[in-house]
Structure 1
Amino acid sequence: MSRSRALLSDLPEARRAVQGAAGPGRADALRERLAALGADDQDRLLLDLVRTHAADALGHRTADQVRATLAFRDLGFDSMASLTLRNRLNEATGLALPTTVVFDHATPAALATHLRAQLRPGGEQITAVLAEVDRWETAVEALAPDDDARGRVVARLRSLLWKWDRSEGTATDAVGDDALTLATDEEIFDIVNKELGIS
């Protein structure tokens, strides 16, 4: 499918978004603009950004052809279009979005919400940490229940949580340093999931 940048450049809103995706400092300018807006206007700006670049990736004349709540799959996105959109959003925002971002956030509205979370202070760090937790969770699930390695993982988690709670001055200190030592493996994993917001 061919893309027509010339057609898009005729549209003021598309031209602004595409221009904002190229050249040094454009991502910083976007962040500054977002910082000056309220939450609703931030959402609108980022949704416009996603829809404009999605329209460009699909070869549409206008962003109006990209419905905010329609799944990318139903909009006609394939792997190549998804990669094109990811690359354009990386350029526009300065983020390092994964190649699966369009599949992870099924609609333009959901992707815009994700971008807003990423662009807030500390957003990228939080996402990076949670990605590591996901990888950790996958690795732990592969361990046999009676594997000695599971005990080593649990001991490490106990140590990590103890340090974390201690630095934050949470209730663990009030209970005593043995609080986590007395917890079962299942309780430890439950604590980790709750602390990191994993249901």
Structure 2
Amino acid sequence: MIGADVCRKCGRPQEIGDEICPDCERWTKSGSDHLAKNIACFTYNEFAKDLMALYKYRGDYAIAAVFSGELIKRWSYIAKEVTIPLPISAERRTERGFNQTEGLLKLANIPFTTQLKREHTEKQSKKTRRERIDQEQYFFVEERDTVASKEVLLIDDIYTTGATLHLAAEALMKSGAKSVSSITIFR
């Protein structure tokens, strides 16, 4: 579980809580800070990496059930009008057979829309930190009316550099969203 000493923007564990971490300072200074806040359920470590791989790449829904309970708790307390799972590309969906984030939302019985779409890119796990941060926009909103003037909540599995969530938030804000926050299973 994530403790109390976390960055107030992204949920990154740190020694002094309620401060903004260096990553969030960089996002703010770069002008790419479209994500209002991220709340994480658990700390990302080697054990978490192995657990997530079992779910994400092998479809182990017993593990997802544990995650979905924590997701429901956090989802209940965040202002939102629209919940959107972070999309995967059509190629990635074919490869895995499912979108892991949609699977979590279905298990948790959380209503969602899939109007945010993603172009196919190289796997994030294969990129360096710098390559992740410097990516071009690959998200787009299919129907702007679904997000226009609304508080949007993105759901994703892992927050590492924040690049993916910030790009998704940027696409949503440019499509008229009032605000964009997120919940991730791990940070």
Q: Same fold (TM over 0.5)?
A: no
Q: Give the structure, 1 or 2, with the largest relative contact order (CA under 8 Å, sep 6 or more).
A: 2
User: Would you tell me which structure has more strand in proportion to its own residues?
Assistant: 2
Report the TM-score range of the alignment, normalised by the length of the smaller protein: under 0.3
| Larger Rg computed on CA atoms | 1
User: Would you tell me which structure has more helix in proportion to its own residues?
Assistant: 1
